[in-house]
Amino acid sequence: MTTVIRNLDWAVTWNAHAERHEYARGIDIAFDAAGLIHVGKDYAGPAATTIDGSDRLALPGLINIHTHPTSEPLRKGVTDETLSPGFWHSSLYEFLTTIGNDPEGMRAAVQVAMGELMLSGVTTVVDLSVPFDGWLDILADSGLRACIAPMFRDARWLTRNGHSLEYEWDHAAGRKAFDAAARLIERAQQHPSGRLTGMVTPSQIDTCSAELLRDAHDLAKERNLPFQVHAAQSMTEFQEMQRRHGMTPIQWMHSVGALDERSIVGHGIFLDHHPWVHWPTRKDIGLLADSGATVAHCPTVFAKRGINLRTFGDYRRAGVNMGIGTDTYPHNFIEEMRNAVYIARAAAGRLDDTFASDVFDAATIGGAKALRRDDIGRLATGAQSDLVLVDVQDRSMRPLYDPLRSLVFAAGERPITDVFVGGEAIVRNRVCQTIDLEAATEALQEAQKRAAALVPERDWKGRTMSQLAPLSFPMAAR
C-alpha cells in the first residue's frame, strides 16, 4: 500500500554523497510500510493514497535520544523554580527523590510525553526509565519507534541535610537490575510491533561501580547495542568523581573503557574546560571527539537552573557527535531545538556559535548515529518511512522565506500536521491518532496530586510540596 505526497512545496532531503541535508522543492515522496520508495521529481509508480503536498514542508522524523517520560511530565510547574543551593541548584538530589510517580501515574506520564513528542515531529525516542509493568506495550501502542533504556545502578542518592550527597551502595541490587535490563532489552527487540529496540543504560556515572559500568559496556558491545550513562551533569557529581578518582567524570569513563563510539553521554556539560569547575586539564572534549561518543544535549532542563553546556558549537567543531533530548517537560522537540540554538549563542556570546541547521543535524543524523542506525533521520530512498509534514501556509510559518528558520525560531510545533512512522500516520491533521491525550492528562493531574501528598515523607526536612515549590504569587486574602 503505497502513499505518495505530490508536489511538495518544500522538503529537507538527504544527499548521501555529500552527507548533508538539502532543501528540495516540487518533489514527490512515495513510501510504504517497508520504507521510502521515491524521494525526487515525478513519481510514476502506483499509489493507493495520494496527499497534496503543495502547501507542505516534508522533514525527516526527528530523533530524541534522551527522555524520562515516566517521571518528568509529573513535575510540571513544580521543579521549574525549586531551590537547591547546596547542590548548585541542580534538581537531582533533593527533588528527583521527593516527587515520585506511581505505576498508574507512570502510564499517564508516558502517554502525555509520547503524545507531545509526536505532535512536535518526533518519530524515534529513547526512553530512560526504571522498568515497570506494561512499559513495552505502552511504548509500542504509541506507534513511535522507541529505544528502551532500562536504567540500573549500584547506589542511590541520599541527602540528610541538603548539601552533602550520600550514596547508599547495594551491588547485588545493581547486578540484579542490570540482568533484568538485559532480558527486557531482548524482549523489546522481539516485540511484535517491530518498533522497539534497546540500549544498555547504567543510570549515572557516580552511582555505578567500575565493574558494573564495564560489564554494561561489554554487553552493549557483545549485542551491538548503544550505551548511555548520565555523566558530567552536575557540579556535585564532578566533585565526587574528582574526590574518588582524581579525575573528571569523562576521564574516568574513558579510563574504565566505557567511552567509545557506542557511548552516549547524558549530558556532558561539566567537562574540564567548563568555567565552573576550574580544572587544570583540557582533555575532555578531545576524549569525547576521539572516542566517537555522542553527547545527549538537553538544554532546557539545565538552562532552567542556570547551567549551560559550553558550547554546542565548540563541541561540534571539536568533532563531538551531538544528539538532542528532552530531559524535562514540555516534551516539545521543536522548542528544545530552539533552546539549543539560543542557549548556545548566549553562552558563546556570538551568533555564529550554532545555526538552526546544526541543531537540525543533531536532531536527525546525529541521533541516528548515536543509535547506530543509518535508516532514520533522513529522507532518502531506502530509509524508513518516518516523516513529518508541516503546513507552510500556517500563520505561524509566514511570511515564509526559510522554512526551517520559520519552524525553529517562530512556529514551534503548531504547523506540524502529520507524522508518519513506518508509513503509518500517528499524527493526522494535528491530532494524535494513537493516544487519548485528554484522558492521559486528566490521569496525570491526579497522579501529581498523589505525588504531592507523599512529598513530606520523602523530603529530608519533611517539607510539603508548597514549601519546596512555593507558588509564583502568595494567595490573596479574601
* Contacting residues toward Zn ion, per CB under 5 A: 327
Name which of 327 and 361 has its Cβ closer to Zn ion: 327
Name which of 36 and 109 has its Cβ closer to Zn ion: 109
Four-residue CA torsion sign, 149, 70, 180, 139:
negative
Q: How far is the CB of 108 from Zn ion (least distance, A)?
A: 20
- Give yes or no for a contact between 238 and 249, defined as CB atoms under 8 angstroms apart: yes
Name which of 127 and 327 has its Cβ closer to Zn ion: 327
| Integer Cα distance of 357 and 347 in angstroms | 18
Q: How far is the CB of 328 from Zn ion (least distance, A)?
A: 9
Q: How far is the CB of 92 from Zn ion (least distance, A)?
A: 9
Q: How far is the CB of 66 from Zn ion (least distance, A)?
A: 6
In the numeric block, the cell 508509513 is attached to 423
Name which of 206 and 327 has its Cβ closer to Zn ion: 327
Q: How far is the CB of 371 from Zn ion (least distance, A)?
A: 16
Short-list 241, 329, 307, CA closest to 279: 241
Name which of 297 and 414 has its Cβ closer to Zn ion: 297
Residue partners of 74: CB distance under 8 A and separation at least 6: 99, 101, 105, 109, 444, 447, 448, 451
Name which of 328 and 434 has its Cβ closer to Zn ion: 328
- Give yes or no for a contact between 386 and 33, defined as CB atoms under 8 angstroms apart: no
Name which of 97 and 433 has its Cβ closer to Zn ion: 97
> What type of residue is 193?
S
**Cα→Cα distances 134→71, 192, 448, Å:** 15, 14, 20
Cβ-based burial of 85 (10 A; exposed 0-12, middle 13-18, buried ≥19): exposed
In the numeric block, the cell 531506502 is attached to 382
Q: Please spell the DSSP secondary structure of 391-403, one letter per residue.
A: ETTSGGG-S-S-H
Q: How far is the CB of 437 from Zn ion (least distance, A)?
A: 23
For Zn ion, the nearest residue by Cβ is 327
Q: How far is the CB of 209 from Zn ion (least distance, A)?
A: 20
